[in-house]
């Protein structure tokens, strides 16, 4: 189809999320690059922390193709023994703390949050939640209820009652916010749309302690930080704090749609009865997505991409020095450039995209540039990315 016709039909028939979509027409993607008809872009956002192992990763593609040749959808989640699900769940359990050993697969991060909310209610018999100001957990009603920003939620009320909020790294609020009535606390260890802001270790340890005191489940949303992006396989490793439930998505699928929530089997088993099918999902853990996910996880581990992300972070920080850069926040390859002014930030982003560098901003920090490239990126490309940014500041 002709370029202009495709663009027109995109605007006419594909549900739009803003009045000014990026609207780039990409014909193929490989490694850290996206190829349009007459232009090449360096992808420095990885589809928002999805393409951790690079576009068109051969190991992932081969695994997905092999599974396509065997079978696709068979039956609703949990009824059939499907090797891709079993092998992925087993591998995840092997690289996580012992208590995170039972995996419930869904299709996305929002779905995983919803499942975790239901699980927390069912396990504790309680229904109140605590979340963080300026956290982002997804677009569904439950996930939206855990988000403090009225701009994104005010048009969709009423939302779930019984949700209160605490500020990241505010130790003083923990004891009064988390009570015996709290079912679960939802935490982004490294906050995403706030602008890649890591938590203090003391803050997470204090929350863990308070959750233990009040029989509250601690949930880590590692939808963006997981699968090697933060400089360890999961952020929980950096903090040495183990949640009761871990949420994964985005990078989990290796480019395919996949999410999951992970808990101890004795917690997860409550979905089996009273009621039976306490949580159900038609396409959750699609075998092709699970095959891709396992290949991506093995690729990250085999190539030590999580640990290497720390050295690549240092390279970004070494190069990103400029009077207009207030600071660089984040950890590993989830970094943010603080430019203070959101209008100026948008101008810089637009110029960089025109120069062939795909970057963007954050929902709650429009003054920051998001740097979230594929973990396979090498120093030569980091130098090129930083050069383009500095040229356009």
Cα 310 from chain centroid (whole Å): 18
**Across 32-47, average pLDDT:** 97
Query: Given a cut of 80, is residue 1 above it in pLDDT?
Result: no
Query: Given a cut of 90, is residue 16 above it in pLDDT?
Result: yes
Q: Which sequence spans correspond to the domains of the chain?
A: 3-56+304-391, 58-302
Q: What is the pTM of this model?
A: 0.97
Preceding omega of 275 cis (within 30 degrees of 0): yes
List, for residues 148-164, the tens digit of each pLDDT value: 988 888 899 999 999 99
List, for residues 172-222, the tens digit of each pLDDT value: 999 999 999 999 999 999 999 999 999 999 999 999 999 999 999 999 999
pLDDT above 70 covers a percentage of the chain that reads 100
Task: Report DSSP state, residue 200.
Answer: P
Architecture of the domain spanning 58-302: 3-Layer(aba) Sandwich (3.40)
Please state at what angle helix 379-391 crosses helix 305-319, rounded to 10 degrees: 30
Query: Given a cut of 90, is residue 3 above it in pLDDT?
Result: no
Q: Which helix (H) or strand (E) holds 259?
A: strand 259-263
- Determine if residue 25 is left, alpha or beta; phi over 0 gives left, psi from -120 to 50 gives alpha, anything else beta: beta
What is the structure's pLDDT at 283?
96
What is the structure's pLDDT at 149?
83
What is the structure's pLDDT at 21?
87
CA distance 165 to 71: 44
List, for residues 218-277, the tens digit of each pLDDT value: 999 999 999 999 999 999 999 999 999 999 999 999 999 999 999 999 999 999 999 999
Fold of 3-56+304-391: 3.90.1150
CA distance 179 to 190: 24
Please state at what angle helix 58-70 crosses helix 287-302, rounded to 10 degrees: 150
What is the structure's pLDDT at 81?
97
CA distance 393 to 373: 20
Query: Given a cut of 90, is residue 303 above it in pLDDT?
Result: yes
CA distance 370 to 221: 19
19's CB contacts (< 8 A; 6+ apart) are: none
CA distance 128 to 165: 11
Please say whether the beta carbons of 33 and 42 come within 8 A: yes
**Across 46-72, average pLDDT:** 98
Other Cβ atoms less than 10 A from the Cβ of 197: the count is: 21
CA distance 135 to 195: 10
List, for residues 283-298, the tens digit of each pLDDT value: 999 999 999 999 999 9
CA separation, residue 105 to residues 128, 220, 260, 282 (Å): 24, 16, 4, 10
CA distance 346 to 367: 8
Please say whether the beta carbons of 13 and 38 come within 8 A: no
Same fold, 3-56+304-391 and 58-302: no
Query: Given a cut of 90, is residue 168 above it in pLDDT?
Result: yes
Q: How would you class 130 by CB atoms within 10 Å of its CB: exposed for 0-12, middle for 13-18, buried for 19 or more?
A: buried
CA distance 376 to 51: 10
Other Cβ atoms less than 10 A from the Cβ of 350: the count is: 12
């Amino acid at each position: 189809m002709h370029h202009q016709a495709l663009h027109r039909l995109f605007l006419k028939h594909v549900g739009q999320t803003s009045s000014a979509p990026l609207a780039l027409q990409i014909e193929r993607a490989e490694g850290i690059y996206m190829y349009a008809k007459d232009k090449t872009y360096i992808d420095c956002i990885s589809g928002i922390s999805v393409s951790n192992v690079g576009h068109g990763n051969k190991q992932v593609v081969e695994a997905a193709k092999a599974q396509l040749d065997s079978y696709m959808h068979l039956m609703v989640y949990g009824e059939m023994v499907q090797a891709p699900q079993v092998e992925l769940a087993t591998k995840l359990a092997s690289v996580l703390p012992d208590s995170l050993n039972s995996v419930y697969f869904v299709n996305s991060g929002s779905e995983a949050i919803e499942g975790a909310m239901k699980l927390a209610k069912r396990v504790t018999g309680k229904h109140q939640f605590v979340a963080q100001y300026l956290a982002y957990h997804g677009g569904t009603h439950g996930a939206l209820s855990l988000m403090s920003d009225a701009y994104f939620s005010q048009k969709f009320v009423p939302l779930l009652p019984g949700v209160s909020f605490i500020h990241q790294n505010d130790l003083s609020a923990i004891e009064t916010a988390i009570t015996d009535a709290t079912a679960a606390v939802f935490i982004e260890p490294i906050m995403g749309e706030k602008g890649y802001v890591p938590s203090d270790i003391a803050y997470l340890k204090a929350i863990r302690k308070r959750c233990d005191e009040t029989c509250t489940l601690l949930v880590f949303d590692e939808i963006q930080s997981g699968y090697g992006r933060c400089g360890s396989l999961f952020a929980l490793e950096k903090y040495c704090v183990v949640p009761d439930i871990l949420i994964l998505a985005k990078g989990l699928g290796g480019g395919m749609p996949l999410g999951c929530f992970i808990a101890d089997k004795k917690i997860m088993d409550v979905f089996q009865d009273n009621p039976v099918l306490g949580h159900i999902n038609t396409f959750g853990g699609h075998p092709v997505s699970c095959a891709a996910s396992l290949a991506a996880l093995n690729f990250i581990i085999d190539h030590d991409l999580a640990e290497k992300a720390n050295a690549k972070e240092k390279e970004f920080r070494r190069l990103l020095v400029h009077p207009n850069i207030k600071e660089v926040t984040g950890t590993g390859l989830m970094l943010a450039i603080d430019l203070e002014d959101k209008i100026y930030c948008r101008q810089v982003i637009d110029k960089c995209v025109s120069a062939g560098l795909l970057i963007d901003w954050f929902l709650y920090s429009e003054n920051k540039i998001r740097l979230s490239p594929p973990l396979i990126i090498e120093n030569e490309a980091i130098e090129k990315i930083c050069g383009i940014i500095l040229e356009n500041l």
